[in-house]
Amino acid sequence: MNTPVKRWQSLLLWGGLTLAVVAVHLLGRAGLVSGYLLQILQLIGINIMLTASLNLVNGYLGEFAIGHAGFMAVGAYVSALFTVKWHLPFPLALLAGAVAAGFFAWLVGIPAFTTFGDYLAIITLGFNMIVVNLINNIDYLGGPRGLPGLPRATNLLWVYALTALSLLVLRNLVRSNYGRLWVAIRESDIAAELMGAEVRRLKLLALVIAGTIAGAAGALWGHLLQYIHPRSFDYIKSTEMLVMVYLGGMGSLAGSVLGATLYTALMEMLRGLKEWRPVVGPLILILIMLRMPRGLMGLRPPDLGRLLRPRREKGVAT
């Protein structure tokens, strides 16, 4: 339970962070913070939303979804329809993008969770490819040329508010009966069902929440870059999200924040690598798997040294 001290600490932390973000936003508008830095900060927020939501499904629930960019694409394109084609206000577009992505997550979950078994990976991958191919073939949405002209509606405050809201929703659910049941399903779905948990409904719920958040992230992303094209949402994007989840640590929201932040910053710093840059992500993934399969937040402090030291055989404990 929350002790008063903890409550003060978190109030201070969130208050301080909010003040800092508002300050940076205002300084940016006054031209005192570079647009480049502002964009990186927003990309970090968007990636935190994508990573944390994917972590709900892959980390807490223990499923394996590998097409998260599909939901992001739905959010980006549906919101773009609202603003570019129908000239509706951005908040409405954002909401529509999120809801549409949640609806598609529900559609994906129905066949994936009908029986016990691991169908989610293949179905989410298929969904990701279908979405990209569909957009490629719909001329109204610009097809392979992409859809330009999205209004620059996303700003640091929007991203911050939605990132915080997403994390709050995920944290509160994870620390409730729902979160316990999700983790129980990960540990043993049969035992969870036999303890009265409606496993299929609970899995669907997690996937829909994750899809909705990814959709909102997609809408923010589109209205930040102002130009979207189908290739930005292919399986490579989905893989990047997986890298961020594993880097931060499965089943840890703090890990997702850390993983998304580090990865986004790192990829920005490596722009100089040009065509070699896409190699870095998979390479990180391999390194994580080999040296710290539980991710950064899965490590206890004493283990951190293991990353730096060569491995040694442990002596017999005396």
Partner 1 sequence: MAGMAADRAAGPGAGAPPHPAAPPLLEARGVTMAFGGLRAVEDFNLTVQRGELVGLIGPNGAGKTTVFNVLTGVYRPTAGRIFLGGVEITGLPASAITRMGVARTFQNIRLFGGMTVLENLLVAMGFRAGYGLWDALVRSRRFREREAALRRQALELLDLFRLADKAERPARSLAYGEQRRLEIARALATRPRLLLLDEPAAGMNPQEGEELMQLIRWVREQFDLTILLIEHHMPIVMGICQRVLVLDFGRTIAEGDPRAIQSDPRVIEAYLGQQEVS
What residues line the site for partner 1 (CB under 8 A)?
A: 169, 172-173, 176-178, 180-181, 183-184, 187-188, 190-199, 205
Q: How far is the CB of 122 from partner 1 (least distance, A)?
A: 24
Q: How far is the CB of 27 from partner 1 (least distance, A)?
A: 33
Size (the chain), residues = 318
**Residue 115, phi then psi, degrees to nearest 5:** -130, 170
Q: List, as one string, the DSSP characters of 214-266.
A: HHHHHHHHHHHHSEE-GGGGSHHHHHHHHHHHHHH-TT-HHHHHHHHHHHHHH
- Decide whether 118 or 198 has the Cβ nearer to partner 1: 198
- Please report where in the chains the tokens 């409730």 appear, as a residue: 176
- Decide whether 153 or 192 has the Cβ nearer to partner 1: 192
- Decide whether 180 or 226 has the Cβ nearer to partner 1: 180
**Residue 124, phi then psi, degrees to nearest 5:** -70, -35
Q: How far is the CB of 190 from partner 1 (least distance, A)?
A: 7
Q: How far is the CB of 56 from partner 1 (least distance, A)?
A: 14
What angle do helix axes 68-80 and 35-55 make, rounded to 10 degrees?
A: 130
- Decide whether 85 or 201 has the Cβ nearer to partner 1: 201
**CA–CA gap between residue 227 and residue 80 (Å, rounded):** 9
Q: How far is the CB of 43 from partner 1 (least distance, A)?
A: 27
Task: From 86, 50, 85, 52, select the one nearest 70 (Cα to Cα).
Answer: 50
- Decide whether 135 or 250 has the Cβ nearer to partner 1: 250
Q: Residue 103 contacts by C-beta under 8 Å, 6 or more apart in sequence?
A: none
